[in-house]
Amino acid sequence: MKTRTLLISLLLLTPFFLFAQTEDNSGSEKAPSSFSLAINQDNAFGFYPAIYGSFGLNKNTSLTFYSIFWTNPQYGTAEAGTDLWTEMGIGLGFSLWEDQILLQPSIGFTHGRLLSGQPEGVAGDGVVPSLVAFYFGQRLELEAFFAYYRSMRRDEVNFTDYVLYWAYPGVIINKNISLGLHFESFDLTSAGFNIEPGPLYAWFGAYVKFTVKGKYALRFSTGSNRANESTYSNDFYKITALIPFE
């Protein structure tokens, strides 16, 4: 099982490294490097800071990387406070339409026991193909995200697979304030114990975002959970602070 997991991981990562090696290294203009801290908290996943970074391969393409520090003890071995779920991945960033559109496909891997259902944390718990898209306009903005959390080293009785996706379309009031809508869904796609797949939550609401110096941002969203028979609260609230380092 470990050998198969390693081979699958290398196969999935190979295209990214091949793309990076074939990029122009002649000193031509490249997209700027970035390194940012995102501090997130909501009433479903809890507290989960994340790191996002990139460095340019050419003018409009970057190699990207990220890591999410999932701190919810229920995703690990809660009674001992160990085996915390950890996620890390790499991808590519494509800047389009005079930098107004940014597309970032990535491939990530989780480590722990949430997806695999193993009795203890394992490396290569799951694989996470994802795509995030941003639109930065004069008056409109958009963030859209989709990820498939697929178990890898799984216990065939106790595994879980999920999809997580959202869209935040908004209006830029001025250089410091944006207002918009918040749609987000977290769905169970397959699981052991003959558990039926379906939405775990479906959030509909609104957000307000404050931006300082064109780069530091704080966004707060709230609204209602529209999923039937959800194990999560009827209301939702989510806050994200983005702090880029230069």
CATH code of 156's domain: 2.40.160.40
Which pLDDT score is estimated for 187?
Answer: 98
User: Tokens in use for 133?
Assistant: 């898209």
| Number of domains observed in the structure of the chain | 1
Cα 203 from Cα 192, distance rounded (Å): 25
Q: pLDDT below 50 — which residues of the chain? A: 3, 7
| Nearest alpha-carbon partner for 105 in 15, 237, 192 | 15
C-alpha dihedral sign at 34, 57, 127, 227: positive
pLDDT score at 27? 59
Check residue 15 and give its pLDDT: 57
Q: Which residues of 124-138 are buried (b: 16+ CB within 10 A; e: fewer)?
A: bbbbbbbebbbbeee
Phi, psi of 22, rounded to the nearest 5 degrees? -90, 0
Q: What is the pLDDT of residues 111-158, one digit of tens each?
A: 999 999 999 999 999 999 999 999 999 999 999 999 999 999 988 889
Helix (H) or strand (E) holding 9: helix 2-21
**Residue 73, C-beta contacts closer than 8 angstroms, at least 6 positions apart:** 81, 84
Note the Cα 195 to chain centre separation in Å: 25
Range of the domain at 142: 2-245
